Homo-oligomer: A and B are copies of this chain.
Amino acid sequence: MSSVTASYPWTASPLIASAPMRLISGPPLAYEVSSAGGFGFLAAGVDVSGLAQNLADFKSLLAAAPIPSSKPDILPVGVGFILWGADLSLTVKVLSKPGNAPAAVWLFAPESPAQLKSWAEGIRKATNGKTKIWVQISSVADATEAVAVAGADLLVIQGADAGGHGRYKSAGLISLVPEVIDTVTAYCSENGLQVPGFIAAGGIADSRGVNAVVALGAHGAAMGSRYLASSEANIAKGYQDAVLRASDGGVSTTRTDVYDKLRGTTGWPKGYGGRGVTNKSYEDALSGVAFEENQKAYKTAEAMGNTGWEGAGARMTTYVGTGVGLVKSVIGAKEITRSARGESKV
Protein backbone atom coordinates (compact mmCIF):
# COMPACT_ATOMS: atom_id res chain seq x y z
CA MET A 1 0.00 0.00 0.00
CA SER A 2 2.81 2.39 0.90
CA SER A 3 4.17 2.15 -2.66
CA VAL A 4 1.06 3.88 -4.04
CA THR A 5 0.89 6.78 -1.61
CA ALA A 6 4.70 7.11 -1.88
CA SER A 7 4.21 8.15 -5.52
CA TYR A 8 2.06 11.03 -4.32
CA PRO A 9 3.96 12.29 -1.29
CA TRP A 10 1.30 14.75 -0.12
CA THR A 11 -1.26 11.96 0.29
CA ALA A 12 -2.13 9.84 3.31
CA SER A 13 -3.18 6.21 3.39
CA PRO A 14 -5.70 4.87 2.47
CA LEU A 15 -5.68 7.05 -0.62
CA ILE A 16 -8.92 8.99 -1.09
CA ALA A 17 -9.52 10.46 -4.54
CA SER A 18 -12.30 12.76 -5.71
CA ALA A 19 -13.60 11.50 -9.04
CA PRO A 20 -13.21 13.77 -12.09
CA MET A 21 -16.90 14.57 -12.57
CA ARG A 22 -17.50 16.44 -15.80
CA LEU A 23 -18.41 20.12 -15.21
CA ILE A 24 -18.52 19.57 -11.42
CA SER A 25 -14.95 18.80 -10.34
CA GLY A 26 -13.19 22.16 -10.68
CA PRO A 27 -10.07 23.65 -9.10
CA PRO A 28 -11.61 24.56 -5.69
CA LEU A 29 -12.87 21.01 -5.10
CA ALA A 30 -9.67 19.35 -6.33
CA TYR A 31 -7.53 21.71 -4.26
CA GLU A 32 -9.44 21.05 -1.03
CA VAL A 33 -9.22 17.29 -1.50
CA SER A 34 -5.47 17.36 -2.16
CA SER A 35 -4.85 19.78 0.68
CA ALA A 36 -6.53 17.27 3.03
CA GLY A 37 -4.07 14.56 1.97
CA GLY A 38 -6.38 13.12 -0.66
CA PHE A 39 -6.01 13.12 -4.43
CA GLY A 40 -8.11 15.82 -6.06
CA PHE A 41 -9.05 15.45 -9.72
CA LEU A 42 -10.02 18.09 -12.24
CA ALA A 43 -12.48 16.99 -14.91
CA ALA A 44 -11.49 17.69 -18.47
CA GLY A 45 -14.03 15.15 -19.68
CA VAL A 46 -14.59 15.25 -23.42
CA ASP A 47 -13.68 18.93 -23.78
CA VAL A 48 -10.12 20.01 -23.05
CA SER A 49 -10.60 23.62 -24.13
CA GLY A 50 -10.78 24.71 -20.48
CA LEU A 51 -7.86 22.60 -19.30
CA ALA A 52 -5.19 25.33 -19.39
CA GLN A 53 -7.39 27.70 -17.40
CA ASN A 54 -8.31 25.00 -14.89
CA LEU A 55 -4.64 24.23 -14.28
CA ALA A 56 -3.86 27.95 -13.97
CA ASP A 57 -6.63 28.36 -11.42
CA PHE A 58 -5.42 25.34 -9.47
CA LYS A 59 -1.88 26.77 -9.47
CA SER A 60 -3.18 30.06 -8.10
CA LEU A 61 -4.82 28.27 -5.20
CA LEU A 62 -1.60 26.34 -4.65
CA ALA A 63 0.52 29.49 -4.74
CA ALA A 64 -1.72 31.11 -2.14
CA ALA A 65 -1.50 28.09 0.16
CA PRO A 66 1.05 25.46 -0.82
CA ILE A 67 0.34 21.83 -0.07
CA PRO A 68 3.13 20.38 2.09
CA SER A 69 5.16 17.47 0.72
CA SER A 70 4.12 17.99 -2.88
CA LYS A 71 7.00 17.85 -5.36
CA PRO A 72 8.02 21.20 -6.94
CA ASP A 73 7.82 19.99 -10.55
CA ILE A 74 4.57 17.97 -10.30
CA LEU A 75 1.18 19.43 -9.49
CA PRO A 76 -0.55 17.70 -6.55
CA VAL A 77 -3.66 17.12 -8.63
CA GLY A 78 -4.95 14.84 -11.36
CA VAL A 79 -6.97 15.37 -14.52
CA GLY A 80 -9.68 13.07 -15.83
CA PHE A 81 -10.24 12.53 -19.56
CA ILE A 82 -13.05 10.78 -21.40
CA LEU A 83 -11.04 9.38 -24.26
CA TRP A 84 -13.67 8.91 -26.97
CA GLY A 85 -14.31 12.66 -27.00
CA ALA A 86 -11.18 14.39 -25.72
CA ASP A 87 -8.49 15.88 -27.98
CA LEU A 88 -5.13 14.24 -27.29
CA SER A 89 -2.96 16.69 -29.23
CA LEU A 90 -4.40 19.71 -27.42
CA THR A 91 -4.00 17.85 -24.12
CA VAL A 92 -0.35 17.12 -24.88
CA LYS A 93 0.19 20.76 -25.80
CA VAL A 94 -1.23 21.98 -22.48
CA LEU A 95 0.39 19.41 -20.22
CA SER A 96 3.83 19.78 -21.79
CA LYS A 97 4.06 23.44 -20.82
CA PRO A 98 6.51 23.96 -17.91
CA GLY A 99 4.78 23.61 -14.55
CA ASN A 100 1.68 21.97 -15.99
CA ALA A 101 2.44 18.31 -15.23
CA PRO A 102 -0.33 16.77 -13.10
CA ALA A 103 0.63 13.95 -10.76
CA ALA A 104 -1.79 11.66 -12.61
CA VAL A 105 -4.30 11.46 -15.40
CA TRP A 106 -7.43 9.30 -15.09
CA LEU A 107 -8.28 7.82 -18.48
CA PHE A 108 -11.75 6.50 -19.15
CA ALA A 109 -13.88 5.09 -21.95
CA PRO A 110 -11.50 4.70 -24.89
CA GLU A 111 -13.00 3.82 -28.24
CA SER A 112 -10.34 1.12 -28.66
CA PRO A 113 -7.26 -0.34 -26.97
CA ALA A 114 -5.18 1.55 -29.57
CA GLN A 115 -6.66 4.85 -28.44
CA LEU A 116 -5.87 4.02 -24.80
CA LYS A 117 -2.29 3.21 -25.82
CA SER A 118 -1.90 6.52 -27.71
CA TRP A 119 -3.10 8.49 -24.72
CA ALA A 120 -0.80 6.72 -22.28
CA GLU A 121 2.19 7.25 -24.57
CA GLY A 122 1.23 10.82 -25.39
CA ILE A 123 0.86 11.85 -21.76
CA ARG A 124 4.08 10.15 -20.68
CA LYS A 125 5.97 11.94 -23.43
CA ALA A 126 4.33 15.30 -22.66
CA THR A 127 5.49 15.33 -19.03
CA ASN A 128 8.65 13.23 -19.31
CA GLY A 129 7.09 10.43 -17.36
CA LYS A 130 6.24 12.64 -14.41
CA THR A 131 2.52 11.99 -14.77
CA LYS A 132 1.21 8.61 -13.65
CA ILE A 133 -1.34 6.85 -15.83
CA TRP A 134 -4.55 5.84 -14.08
CA VAL A 135 -7.06 3.85 -16.12
CA GLN A 136 -10.65 3.32 -15.00
CA ILE A 137 -12.00 -0.15 -15.82
CA SER A 138 -15.01 -2.19 -14.78
CA SER A 139 -14.17 -5.73 -15.81
CA VAL A 140 -11.32 -8.17 -15.37
CA ALA A 141 -10.77 -8.26 -19.14
CA ASP A 142 -10.48 -4.45 -19.40
CA ALA A 143 -8.16 -4.40 -16.39
CA THR A 144 -5.70 -6.80 -17.98
CA GLU A 145 -5.92 -4.89 -21.26
CA ALA A 146 -5.15 -1.57 -19.53
CA VAL A 147 -1.98 -3.05 -18.07
CA ALA A 148 -1.01 -4.77 -21.31
CA VAL A 149 -1.51 -1.88 -23.74
CA ALA A 150 -1.09 1.20 -21.55
CA GLY A 151 1.17 -0.03 -18.76
CA ALA A 152 -1.31 1.49 -16.31
CA ASP A 153 0.37 2.71 -13.12
CA LEU A 154 -2.92 2.44 -11.29
CA LEU A 155 -6.29 0.89 -12.04
CA VAL A 156 -9.45 2.60 -10.88
CA ILE A 157 -11.79 -0.36 -10.42
CA GLN A 158 -15.27 0.96 -11.12
CA GLY A 159 -18.08 -1.14 -9.69
CA ALA A 160 -21.63 -1.37 -11.02
CA ASP A 161 -22.87 0.93 -8.24
CA ALA A 162 -21.00 3.94 -9.58
CA GLY A 163 -22.96 7.03 -10.52
CA GLY A 164 -22.68 8.69 -13.90
CA HIS A 165 -21.19 6.79 -16.80
CA GLY A 166 -19.94 3.25 -16.66
CA ARG A 167 -20.45 -0.06 -18.38
CA TYR A 168 -23.83 -1.74 -18.19
CA LYS A 169 -22.12 -5.08 -17.78
CA SER A 170 -20.14 -4.90 -14.60
CA ALA A 171 -20.04 -6.31 -11.09
CA GLY A 172 -20.12 -4.68 -7.70
CA LEU A 173 -16.84 -4.00 -5.92
CA ILE A 174 -17.32 -6.91 -3.50
CA SER A 175 -16.40 -9.40 -6.23
CA LEU A 176 -14.77 -7.15 -8.84
CA VAL A 177 -11.94 -5.81 -6.68
CA PRO A 178 -10.48 -9.16 -5.56
CA GLU A 179 -10.85 -10.78 -8.99
CA VAL A 180 -9.19 -7.83 -10.77
CA ILE A 181 -6.35 -7.79 -8.25
CA ASP A 182 -5.78 -11.56 -8.45
CA THR A 183 -5.87 -11.64 -12.24
CA VAL A 184 -3.78 -8.53 -12.87
CA THR A 185 -1.20 -9.54 -10.27
CA ALA A 186 -0.84 -12.95 -11.91
CA TYR A 187 -0.63 -11.35 -15.38
CA CYS A 188 2.10 -8.94 -14.24
CA SER A 189 4.03 -11.74 -12.61
CA GLU A 190 3.87 -13.84 -15.79
CA ASN A 191 4.96 -10.94 -17.96
CA GLY A 192 7.59 -9.35 -15.75
CA LEU A 193 5.57 -6.16 -15.27
CA GLN A 194 5.20 -4.04 -12.17
CA VAL A 195 1.87 -4.58 -10.46
CA PRO A 196 -0.19 -1.37 -10.63
CA GLY A 197 -1.92 0.33 -7.72
CA PHE A 198 -5.64 -0.32 -7.22
CA ILE A 199 -8.30 2.21 -6.24
CA ALA A 200 -11.96 1.22 -5.98
CA ALA A 201 -14.89 3.40 -7.01
CA GLY A 202 -18.64 2.97 -7.03
CA GLY A 203 -21.00 3.08 -4.07
CA ILE A 204 -18.44 4.27 -1.49
CA ALA A 205 -19.59 7.26 0.56
CA ASP A 206 -17.85 7.07 3.92
CA SER A 207 -15.07 5.36 5.87
CA ARG A 208 -17.02 2.08 6.03
CA GLY A 209 -16.89 1.75 2.26
CA VAL A 210 -13.23 2.77 2.25
CA ASN A 211 -12.36 0.18 4.89
CA ALA A 212 -14.31 -2.43 2.96
CA VAL A 213 -12.38 -1.93 -0.29
CA VAL A 214 -9.10 -1.90 1.65
CA ALA A 215 -10.18 -5.30 3.07
CA LEU A 216 -10.76 -6.41 -0.53
CA GLY A 217 -7.16 -5.48 -1.36
CA ALA A 218 -7.42 -1.96 -2.78
CA HIS A 219 -5.03 0.84 -1.81
CA GLY A 220 -7.82 3.33 -1.48
CA ALA A 221 -11.08 4.63 -2.84
CA ALA A 222 -12.45 7.22 -5.22
CA MET A 223 -15.76 8.90 -4.46
CA GLY A 224 -18.01 10.90 -6.74
CA SER A 225 -21.51 11.13 -5.24
CA ARG A 226 -20.18 12.07 -1.80
CA TYR A 227 -18.31 15.06 -3.32
CA LEU A 228 -21.42 16.18 -5.20
CA ALA A 229 -22.58 17.26 -1.77
CA SER A 230 -19.39 19.17 -0.95
CA SER A 231 -19.31 22.93 -0.44
CA GLU A 232 -16.78 23.25 -3.28
CA ALA A 233 -18.58 21.25 -5.99
CA ASN A 234 -19.52 23.27 -9.05
CA ILE A 235 -23.10 22.02 -9.00
CA ALA A 236 -26.61 23.45 -9.33
CA LYS A 237 -28.45 23.79 -6.04
CA GLY A 238 -31.36 21.80 -7.45
CA TYR A 239 -29.05 18.90 -8.35
CA GLN A 240 -27.33 18.98 -4.98
CA ASP A 241 -30.63 19.04 -3.10
CA ALA A 242 -31.87 16.09 -5.18
CA VAL A 243 -28.76 14.14 -4.09
CA LEU A 244 -29.52 14.87 -0.43
CA ARG A 245 -33.15 13.78 -0.84
CA ALA A 246 -32.55 10.48 -2.64
CA SER A 247 -32.21 7.20 -0.76
CA ASP A 248 -32.29 3.42 -1.34
CA GLY A 249 -30.12 3.89 -4.42
CA GLY A 250 -30.52 0.36 -5.75
CA VAL A 251 -34.21 1.10 -6.19
CA SER A 252 -34.17 4.84 -6.91
CA THR A 253 -31.36 4.90 -9.50
CA THR A 254 -30.66 3.03 -12.71
CA ARG A 255 -28.05 2.96 -15.48
CA THR A 256 -29.52 4.17 -18.76
CA ASP A 257 -28.84 6.17 -21.93
CA VAL A 258 -32.15 8.05 -21.67
CA TYR A 259 -30.53 11.14 -20.14
CA ASP A 260 -27.74 11.19 -22.73
CA LYS A 261 -30.31 11.16 -25.50
CA LEU A 262 -32.45 13.91 -23.97
CA ARG A 263 -29.42 16.09 -23.35
CA GLY A 264 -28.04 15.48 -26.82
CA THR A 265 -24.90 13.73 -25.61
CA THR A 266 -23.76 11.41 -28.35
CA GLY A 267 -20.51 9.55 -28.70
CA TRP A 268 -20.34 7.18 -25.75
CA PRO A 269 -19.00 3.86 -27.02
CA LYS A 270 -21.43 0.94 -27.05
CA GLY A 271 -22.02 -0.58 -23.64
CA TYR A 272 -21.86 2.59 -21.54
CA GLY A 273 -24.76 4.25 -19.74
CA GLY A 274 -25.15 6.79 -16.95
CA ARG A 275 -26.52 5.88 -13.51
CA GLY A 276 -28.88 8.47 -12.08
CA VAL A 277 -32.10 8.86 -10.13
CA THR A 278 -35.05 7.59 -12.16
CA ASN A 279 -37.44 10.45 -12.87
CA LYS A 280 -40.32 11.47 -15.14
CA SER A 281 -38.03 11.74 -18.18
CA TYR A 282 -36.95 8.15 -17.64
CA GLU A 283 -40.48 6.88 -16.97
CA ASP A 284 -41.77 8.61 -20.10
CA ALA A 285 -39.02 7.10 -22.22
CA LEU A 286 -39.83 3.66 -20.81
CA SER A 287 -43.55 3.99 -21.31
CA GLY A 288 -43.10 4.89 -24.96
CA VAL A 289 -43.68 8.66 -24.97
CA ALA A 290 -42.35 10.00 -28.28
CA PHE A 291 -38.75 11.19 -28.02
CA GLU A 292 -39.51 14.68 -29.35
CA GLU A 293 -42.25 15.17 -26.77
CA ASN A 294 -40.06 13.88 -23.94
CA GLN A 295 -37.18 16.09 -24.99
CA LYS A 296 -39.42 19.14 -25.22
CA ALA A 297 -40.59 18.51 -21.65
CA TYR A 298 -36.95 18.10 -20.60
CA LYS A 299 -36.00 21.43 -22.17
CA THR A 300 -38.88 23.10 -20.34
CA ALA A 301 -37.65 21.65 -17.04
CA GLU A 302 -34.14 22.81 -17.86
CA ALA A 303 -35.37 26.37 -18.31
CA MET A 304 -36.92 26.23 -14.83
CA GLY A 305 -33.52 26.13 -13.17
CA ASN A 306 -33.26 24.51 -9.73
CA THR A 307 -36.97 23.73 -9.50
CA GLY A 308 -36.55 21.42 -12.52
CA TRP A 309 -35.23 18.85 -10.01
CA GLU A 310 -38.19 19.12 -7.64
CA GLY A 311 -41.36 17.11 -7.16
CA ALA A 312 -42.76 13.89 -8.53
CA GLY A 313 -42.69 15.22 -12.08
CA ALA A 314 -39.00 16.23 -11.95
CA ARG A 315 -37.17 15.75 -15.22
CA MET A 316 -33.68 17.11 -14.66
CA THR A 317 -30.84 14.58 -14.56
CA THR A 318 -29.42 13.57 -11.16
CA TYR A 319 -26.41 11.41 -11.98
CA VAL A 320 -25.46 9.65 -8.76
CA GLY A 321 -24.37 6.23 -7.50
CA THR A 322 -26.28 3.75 -5.33
CA GLY A 323 -24.51 5.17 -2.27
CA VAL A 324 -26.67 8.29 -2.52
CA GLY A 325 -28.67 7.33 0.58
CA LEU A 326 -25.51 7.68 2.68
CA VAL A 327 -25.10 11.32 1.60
CA LYS A 328 -27.14 13.42 4.02
CA SER A 329 -25.54 16.85 4.18
CA VAL A 330 -23.31 19.31 2.34
CA ILE A 331 -19.95 19.66 4.04
CA GLY A 332 -16.47 20.77 3.04
CA ALA A 333 -14.41 18.52 0.77
CA LYS A 334 -11.59 18.56 3.31
CA GLU A 335 -13.86 17.10 5.97
CA ILE A 336 -15.25 14.51 3.52
CA THR A 337 -11.71 13.43 2.66
CA ARG A 338 -10.42 13.18 6.23
CA SER A 339 -13.56 11.49 7.45
CA ALA A 340 -13.38 8.91 4.66
CA ARG A 341 -9.92 8.00 5.94
CA GLY A 342 -11.49 7.47 9.34
CA GLU A 343 -9.79 10.51 10.88
CA SER A 344 -12.94 12.22 12.09
CA LYS A 345 -16.67 11.79 12.30
CA VAL A 346 -18.92 13.59 9.84
- Chain A residues engaging chain B, CB cutoff 8 angstroms: 138-141, 159-161, 169-179, 182-183, 202-206, 208-209, 211-217, 247-251, 254, 321-323, 325-326
Contact residues in B for A174 (Cβ distance below 8 Å)? 159, 161, 172-174, 202-204, 209, 212-213, 323
- 10 A-B pairs besides A160-B250, A169-B254, A212-B213 with CB distance below 8 A are A139-B248, A140-B248, A141-B251, A170-B250, A172-B202, A175-B321, A175-B325, A179-B326, A208-B216, A212-B216
Query: Would you call B172 and A322 a contact (CB within 8 A)?
Result: yes
Interface centre among A176, A178, A213, A248 (most CB of B within 10 A): A248
Which chain B residue has the least Cβ–Cβ distance from A179? B325
Residue in B171, B211, B214, B321 whose CB lies within 8 Å of A322 = B171
Using A140-B325, A176-B322, A215-B215 as known contacts, say yes or no to A171 and B249 having CB atoms under 8 A apart. yes
Contact between A172 and B172 (Cβ–Cβ < 8 Å)? yes
Inside 8 A of A216's CB, which chain B residues have their CB?
Answer: 208-209, 211-212
Chain B residues closer than 8 Å to A141, beta-carbon distance? 248, 251
Q: Are A326 and B248 in contact (CB under 8 A)?
A: no
A173 to chain B, nearest CB (A): 5
Min CB distance A6 to B, Å, is: 24
Q: Quick one: copies of this chain in the complex?
A: 2
Q: What's the nearest-Cβ distance from chain B to residue A165, in Å? A: 16
Contact, CB under 8 Å: A171 / B161: yes
Closest chain B residue to A202 by CB distance?
A: B174
Residues of B within 8 A of A178 (CB): 205-206, 208-209, 326
Cβ contact within 8 Å between B323 and A248: no
Known: A212-B216, A248-B140, A248-B141. A172 touches B161 (CB 8 A): yes
CB-defined contacts of A249 to chain B, threshold 8 Å:
171, 175, 179
Bound state CA distance, A174 and B212, in angstroms?
7
A-B contact pairs, 29 of them (CB 8 A): A139-B251, A140-B325, A141-B248, A159-B172, A160-B160, A161-B174, A161-B175, A169-B250, A171-B203, A171-B249, A171-B323, A172-B172, A172-B202, A172-B203, A172-B322, A174-B202, A174-B209, A174-B323, A175-B205, A175-B323, A175-B325, A175-B326, A176-B322, A178-B206, A179-B248, A208-B216, A208-B217, A209-B216, A211-B216
Q: Contacts of A161 on B, CB cut-off 8 Å?
A: 160, 171-172, 174-175
Specify which chain B residues have a CB less than 8 angstroms from the CB of A215 in the assembled complex: 208, 211-212, 214-215
Cβ B160 vs Cβ A175 within 8 A: no
For residue A171, which residues in chain B have a CB less than 8 angstroms away from its CB?
161, 172, 203, 249-250, 322-323
Residues of B within 8 A of A208 (CB): 177-178, 215-217
For residue A327, give the distance in angstroms from its CB to the closest CB of chain B.
10
Question: Is there contact, CB below 8 Å, between B172 and A247?
Answer: no
What's the least CB distance linking A141 to chain B, in Å? Answer: 6
Docked complex Cα distance between A159 and B160 (Å): 11
CA distance A205 to B178 in the complex (A): 10
Interface pair A250/B176, CB less than 8 Å apart: yes
